[in-house]
């Protein structure tokens, strides 16, 4: 049992405050979609609209092929895992998982079979008789997932399920959710997070939201290699992309831009002739920059060195308002105060117009993506 | 997570074999010093009067002769004399019909009023727990009956329930619900009802507030999970809300029960001298002051103390009440 979702111009307003400005989204059956964005971008609200916990102000939501705008949550064929687990504290793990089935008047045998099956899958069988307060955070979260599995939903909703777990447990549970998706390949999953690592590792497709607007929808690699705008470029990737303001010095493909300080730079992007002398920004990821002896993209003094073991982050003072971040191999010795020149291949540069929209990449770079 | 009722436990010196660290001892000493003023105050205002009352209940003290009282043992509680004819004459508290009438009135009043207040208080709390405009104002307004001193509200209701000029009779007559004026506070059929009405009116807000505090401890997402599970709202109340608010509810009930068992002011003002409503406290005061049977009144007070203590212990034990905020 599974179903896709279709959102058409979905809007949400609280009084006069517009939270979501017309979201269009097409989620295929069995897909794992992650909503990601900064706090207050509307990602949780969007999930709650899909769940039916909040009313849709305008637009339509289809699950399967039926419009479900006015259906109560329990009739939508969904299950949800909450950030705070939302387990019933006075019921045992077993009762928590069986509660929905019991009320749906499922037979005793059916209840038992489904609860035990889910418990087996999540390895929580030994805890079935315990109360939630007797479990650790990770175990509680697995119970919450188990409760959702038991409902045998068409669509599985996760609302920041890992944010209450400590770092090690977060990684372990993330892997469990990935495995779960593999085992329940037919079930559509929608996952909300502000953590881009979770988004990148789990998603088939990522929806980047900002101020109630979809900034970009795409596979993790698409978002990483070909961000459609400045927001996505900055949001995806860690540490964040270096952004430098510039003017378009020559148009065509490839185009040349003149940064506020330094030499002209060739970017593998198609720029129409009308953009000549227009303001623009170009970006380059810290991991795409490499030290060089010859002439490079940026030259500056090393202001801070952060050694993370496998890599070292170097912050370069180049006279630009923001320091340039460079990610280099952890074995390279580099001292604070040294002068460093770095460069990047032209197809690893991203060019955005004054409104933050990316210029089309040249064919070459698309192939690389 | 075994229940720890107090965070500071004072262990008697020499009780533990293992030597406590200096820091721990210092802390215990500091805790002790902080407790001393309260213990002294309690000993003066609660401990001493209680001990004196218990002492007087075993004497033949009267108001005019408090200090010349003689010890008479259990005579005030129960005593018997065997006449020459072989007839046994019982005397003392436990053979006094007026006492048993007061006990019955007290128990009846407590159970009915606390039950009504719990149900109404829960309803009010559920309403106040919902989001709506002007909730703050309604919350404040609902507290008004509780904020009015009992004597004032008893007088006020006394007038409203007045048989000749009371507004209650007037309204009921106008709407044709009764065909003649009722002497609410004077008639033996309605005196208890009148007292119950006023008490419920007055103390429901107290219950509502205590229960509301409990309701607000329940996280909202549990209700959302219930909505996803497709639980009917009525079922949600019985299966989710009630079990989770139970600890707060039990504490609220015990507070009210203790209060109701020793009710005095409302009844003394609203229905003086009605045997239908005379509770143990009213009876004890009558004996202590009006009848100059100080020792007898003391015995009644002591019995009331024992009854309340017993009921409280039973309630906490049977109801598994916990005062540390429940099991979350």
Share of chain A above pLDDT 70, in %: 98
Averaged confidence pLDDT in chain A: 89
Average pLDDT over residues A274-296: 89
Q: By three-state DSSP, how is residue A153 classified? A: coil
A99 neighbourhood in chain B, CB within 8 Å: 229, 231, 239
Average pLDDT over residues B131-149: 88
Residue B146: which residues within 8 A CB-CB, separation 6 or more? B202, B203, B205, B206
The CA-atom distances, in angstroms, between A33 and each of A7, A22, A208, A275, A327 are 13, 18, 11, 36, 30
Q: Per-residue pLDDT for A367 more than 60?
A: no
| pLDDT the model gives residue A129 | 94
Strand A205-210 to strand A32-36: parallel, antiparallel, or no bridges (unpaired)?
parallel
| pLDDT the model gives residue B245 | 92
Q: Per-residue pLDDT for B7 more than 70?
A: no
Region of poorest pLDDT, from A170-179, A256-265, A357-366: A357-366
Q: Per-residue pLDDT for A359 more than 80?
A: yes
Predicted structure pTM score: 0.77
| pLDDT the model gives residue A263 | 81
Burial zone of B48 (CB within 10 Å; 0-12 exposed, 13-18 middle, 19+ buried): exposed
CA dihedral sign, ordered A87, A88, A89, A95: negative
Share of chain B above pLDDT 70, in %: 92
At B152, the pLDDT band (50, 70, 90 cuts) reads: very high
At B19, the pLDDT band (50, 70, 90 cuts) reads: low
| pLDDT the model gives residue A262 | 77
Q: Is residue B248 part of a domain?
A: yes
Mutate to test the interface with B, among A54, A55, A84, A103 (most CBs of B within 10 A): A103
Phi, psi of A227 (to 5 degrees): -60, 140
Average pLDDT over residues A197-225: 94
A1 versus B104: the higher-pLDDT residue is B104
Q: Is residue B165 part of a domain?
A: yes
Q: Per-residue pLDDT for A266 more than 50?
A: yes
Average pLDDT over residues B1-20: 51
Average pLDDT over residues B43-70: 89
Region of poorest pLDDT, from A3-12, A87-96, B133-142: B133-142
| pLDDT the model gives residue B323 | 62
Nearest CB to A74; choose among B1, B222, B229: B229
Q: Per-residue pLDDT for B4 more than 50?
A: no
pLDDT one-digit tens code per residue, B188-213: 888 999 999 999 999 999 999 999 99
Q: Which domain, by its residues, includes B209?
A: 97-319
Nearest to A204 by CA among A225, A228, A216, A221: A221
Strand A188-193 to strand A32-36: parallel, antiparallel, or no bridges (unpaired)?
parallel
CATH number for the domain that contains residue B276: 1.10.3720.10
| pLDDT the model gives residue B63 | 84
Average pLDDT over residues A224-245: 92
Q: Per-residue pLDDT for A366 more than 50?
A: no
B235 neighbourhood in chain A, CB within 8 Å: 103
Query: CA of B228, closest CA in chain A: separation in Å?
Result: 5
At B230, the pLDDT band (50, 70, 90 cuts) reads: confident
Query: CA of A9, closest CA in chain B: separation in Å?
Result: 24
Q: Per-residue pLDDT for A1 more than 60?
A: no
| pLDDT the model gives residue B251 | 87
3-state DSSP percent of chain B in helix, strand and coil, to 5: 65, 5, 30
| pLDDT the model gives residue B311 | 87
Residues in A whose CB is inside 8 Å of some CB of B read 51-53, 72-75, 78-80, 82, 84, 86-90, 99-100, 103-104, 131, 133, 147, 151
Burial zone of A15 (CB within 10 Å; 0-12 exposed, 13-18 middle, 19+ buried): exposed
A75 neighbourhood in chain B, CB within 8 Å: 230
Q: Per-residue pLDDT for B327 more than 70?
A: no
The DSSP annotation for A37-97 comes to: -STTSSHHHHHHHHHTSS--SEEEEEETTEE-TTS-GGGTTEEEE-TT----TTS-HHHHH
Contact predicate A17/A91, CB 8 Å: no
Distance between CA atoms of A325 and A288, rounded to whole angstroms?
Answer: 10
Query: CA of B248, closest CA in chain A: separation in Å?
Result: 14
Q: Per-residue pLDDT for B237 more than 80?
A: yes
B155 versus A250: the higher-pLDDT residue is B155
B327 neighbourhood in chain A, CB within 8 Å: 89-90, 131, 133
Average pLDDT over residues B289-309: 91
Query: CA of A171, closest CA in chain B: separation in Å?
Result: 25
Q: Per-residue pLDDT for A22 more than 50?
A: yes
| pLDDT the model gives residue A167 | 86
Query: Which runs of E-coded beta strand occur in B36-107?
Result: 79-82, 88-91
Nearest CB to A99; choose among B219, B221, B229: B229
B228 neighbourhood in chain A, CB within 8 Å: 51, 53, 73-74, 78-80, 100, 151
Q: Is the CB of B227 less than 8 angstroms away from the CB of A73?
A: yes
Distance between CA atoms of A160 and A167, rounded to whole angstroms?
Answer: 14
Structural domains of chain A ordered from first start: 5-230 (3.40.50.300), 232-368 (2.40.50.100)
Q: Per-residue pLDDT for B9 more than 60?
A: no
Q: Is residue B101 part of a domain?
A: yes
The DSSP annotation for A101-130 comes to: HHHTT--HHHHHHHHHHHHHHHT-GGGTTS
The DSSP annotation for A184-233 comes to: TTTSEEEEEES-HHHHHHH-SEEEEEETTEEEEEE-HHHHHHS-SBHHHH
At B151, the pLDDT band (50, 70, 90 cuts) reads: very high
Q: Which residues pair with A35 in a beta bridge?
A: A192, A207
Nearest CB to A79; choose among B227, B228, B232: B228
Q: Is residue B238 part of a domain?
A: yes
Largest CA distance in chain A: 76
Query: CA of B118, closest CA in chain A: separation in Å?
Result: 22
Contact predicate B25/B11, CB 8 Å: no
> Which pair of structure tokens corresponds to residue B288?
């202590």
Q: Is residue B85 part of a domain?
A: no
| pLDDT the model gives residue B80 | 85
- Alpha carbon A124 to its chain centroid, in Å, reads 29
Nearest to A121 by CA among A65, A57, A176: A176
Q: Is residue B254 part of a domain?
A: yes
Q: Is residue B328 part of a domain?
A: no
pLDDT one-digit tens code per residue, A143-202: 999 999 998 899 999 999 998 888 888 888 899 899 999 988 889 999 999 998 999 999
pLDDT one-digit tens code per residue, B60-104: 888 888 888 888 888 889 888 888 888 888 888 888 899 999 999
Which H or E run includes B38?
A: helix B22-42
| pLDDT the model gives residue B326 | 47
Q: Per-residue pLDDT for A217 more than 90?
A: yes
| pLDDT the model gives residue B12 | 53
Nearest to A248 by CA among A239, A240, A256: A256
Count of domains for chain B: 1
Average pLDDT over residues A236-243: 91
B240 neighbourhood in chain A, CB within 8 Å: 88
Q: Is residue B173 part of a domain?
A: yes
Give the CA radius of gyration of chain B: 25
Distance between CA atoms of B140 and B44, rounded to whole angstroms?
Answer: 36
Nearest CB to B224; choose among A75, A86, A87: A86
pLDDT one-digit tens code per residue, A30-44: 999 999 999 889 999
Cα dihedral angle (B20, B21, B22, B25), rounded to 10 degrees? -40
């Amino acid at each position: 049992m599974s179903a896709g979702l279709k959102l058409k111009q979905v809007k949400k307003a609280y009084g006069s405050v517009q939270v979501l400005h017309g979201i269009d989204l097409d989620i295929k059956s069995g897909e794992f979609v992650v909503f990601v964005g900064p706090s207050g971008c509307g990602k949780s609200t969007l999930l709650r609209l899909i769940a039916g916990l909040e009313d849709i102000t305008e637009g339509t939501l289809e699950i399967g092929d039926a419009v479900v705008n006015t259906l109560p949550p329990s009739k939508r064929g969904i299950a949800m895992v909450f950030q705070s687990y939302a387990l019933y504290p006075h019921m045992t793990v077993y009762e928590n998982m069986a509660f929905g089935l019991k009320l749906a008047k499922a037979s005793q045998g059916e209840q038992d079979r489904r609860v035990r099956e889910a418990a087996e899958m999540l390895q929580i069988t030994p805890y079935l008789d315990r109360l939630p307060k007797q479990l650790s955070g990770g175990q509680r979260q697995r119970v919450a997932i188990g409760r959702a599995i038991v409902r045998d939903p068409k669509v599985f909703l996760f609302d920041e399920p890992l944010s209450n777990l400590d770092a090690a447990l977060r990684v372990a549970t993330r892997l469990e959710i990935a495995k779960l998706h593999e085992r329940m390949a037919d079930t559509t999953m929608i996952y909300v997070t502000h953590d881009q690592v979770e988004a990148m590792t789990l998603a088939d497709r990522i929806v980047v939201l900002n101020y109630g607007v979809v900034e970009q929808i795409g596979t993790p690699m698409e978002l990483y290699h070909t961000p459609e705008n400045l927001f996505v470029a900055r949001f995806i990737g860690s540490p964040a992309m270096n952004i430098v303001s510039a003017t378009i010095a020559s148009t065509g493909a490839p185009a040349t831009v003149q940064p506020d300080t330094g030499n002209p730079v060739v970017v593998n992007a198609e720029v129409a002739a009308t953009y000549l002398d227009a303001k623009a920004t170009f970006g380059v990821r810290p991991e795409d920059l490499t030290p060089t002896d010859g002439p490079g993209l940026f030259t500056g003094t090393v202001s801070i060195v952060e050694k993370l073991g496998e890599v070292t982050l170097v912050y370069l003072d180049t006279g630009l308002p923001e320091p340039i971040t460079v990610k280099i191999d952890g074995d390279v010795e580099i001292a604070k105060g040294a002068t460093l020149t770095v460069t990047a291949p032209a197809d690893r540069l991203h060019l955005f117009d004054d409104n933050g929209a990316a210029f089309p990449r040249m064919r070459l770079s698309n192939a690389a993506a | 997570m075994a229940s720890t009722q107090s965070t500071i436990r004072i262990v008697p010196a020499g009780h533990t074999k293992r030597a406590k660290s200096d820091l721990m001892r210092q802390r215990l000493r500091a805790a002790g010093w902080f407790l001393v003023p309260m213990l002294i105050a309690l000993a003066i205002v609660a401990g001493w009067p209680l001990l004196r009352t218990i002492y007087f209940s075993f004497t033949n003290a009267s108001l005019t002769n408090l200090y010349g009282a003689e010890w008479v043992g259990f005579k005030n509680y129960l005593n018997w004399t065997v006449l020459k004819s072989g007839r046994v004459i019982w005397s003392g508290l436990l053979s006094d019909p007026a006492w048993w009438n007061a006990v019955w009135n007290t128990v009846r009043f407590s159970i009915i009023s606390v039950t009504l207040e719990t149900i109404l208080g829960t309803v009010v709390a559920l309403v106040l727990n919902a989001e709506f405009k002007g909730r703050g104002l309604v919350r404040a307004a609902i507290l008004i009956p509780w904020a009015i001193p009992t004597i004032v509200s008893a007088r006020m209701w006394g007038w409203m329930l007045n048989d000749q000029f009371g507004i209650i009779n007037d309204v009921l007559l106008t709407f044709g619900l009764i065909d003649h004026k009722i002497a609410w506070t004077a008639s033996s059929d309605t005196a208890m009802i009148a007292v119950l009405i006023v008490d419920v009116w007055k103390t429901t807000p107290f219950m509502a507030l205590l229960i509301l505090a409990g309701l607000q401890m329940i996280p909202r997402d549990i209700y959302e999970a219930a909505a996803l599970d497709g639980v009917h709202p009525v079922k949600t109340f019985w299966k989710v809300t009630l079990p989770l608010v139970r600890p707060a509810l039990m504490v609220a009930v015990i507070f009210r029960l203790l209060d109701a068992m020793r009710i005095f002011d409302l009844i003394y003002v609203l229905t003086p001298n009605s045997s239908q409503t005379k509770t143990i406290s009213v009876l004890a005061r009558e004996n202590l002051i009006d009848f100059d049977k100080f020792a007898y009144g003391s015995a009644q007070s002591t019995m009331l103390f024992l009854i309340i203590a017993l009921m409280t212990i039973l309630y906490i034990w049977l109801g598994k009440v916990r005062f540390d905020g429940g099991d979350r």
